[in-house]
Amino acid sequence: MGNFFGNLSYKFQHFMTGRYGYDAFSKFLLIVALIGFGLSMFTGMKLFYTIAVVAIFYSYFRLFSKNIYARQAELRKYFSVKGKVVQKFSLRKKMWAERKAYKYFKCPKCKSVWRYPKGIGKIEITCKNCKNKMIKRT
Ligand SMILES: [Zn+2]
């Protein structure tokens, strides 16, 4: 019996050779699937169930995929999107925490964000990134 399981694990290792396996994006997909199943149970909406099933299939597809290069590209994309989302949320949090002392302005040209102390009045702001000028009231 021990031999049987030994063979099985050997076979599995052999099967997984050259395949992509598990990464952070697959983990994210499984979390999406769990949330999707939970939401579909609570709301009875088929859409969440469909999303969950698709997420599971996709994570398995990635696990056994032999196109390692494409999967690595997906992982990089996932990290870059995740980084942007995290950055956006931390900026919102900061803006909310400093809402009484500072006003934030977004440069319409390059989308970078600058903050100025409140209560100065009308000022000309020069974007430190692209040198675009804007007149704002703080
Ligand atoms: Zn700018």
pLDDT in tens, 61-106: 999 999 999 999 999 999 999 999 999 999 999 999 999 999 999 9
125 in Cβ contact with 114 (< 8 Å): yes
pLDDT digits (tens, 9 = 90+) for 45-61: 999 999 999 999 999 99
Please name the residues in contact with 71: beta carbons below 8 A apart, sequence gap of 6 or more: 20, 23, 62, 65
Is 6 inside a domain boundary? no
- What is the Å distance from ligand 1's center to 106 Cα? 8
126 and 78 share one domain? no
pLDDT digits (tens, 9 = 90+) for 9-56: 888 888 889 999 999 999 999 999 999 999 999 999 999 999 999 999
In total, the chain counts a number of residues equal to 138
91 and 54 share one domain? yes
Overall domain count for the chain:
2
Give the structural domain span for 74.
20-97
- What is the Å distance from ligand 1's center to 135 Cα? 13
37 and 88 share one domain? yes
Is 2 inside a domain boundary? no
- What is the Å distance from ligand 1's center to 80 Cα? 22
89 and 107 share one domain? no
Distance CA 30, CA 42 (A): 18
DSSP per position, 43-70: H--HHHHHHHHHHHHHHHHHHH-S-HHH
28 and 93 share one domain? yes
> What per-residue confidence (pLDDT) applies to 102?
95
117 and 90 share one domain? no
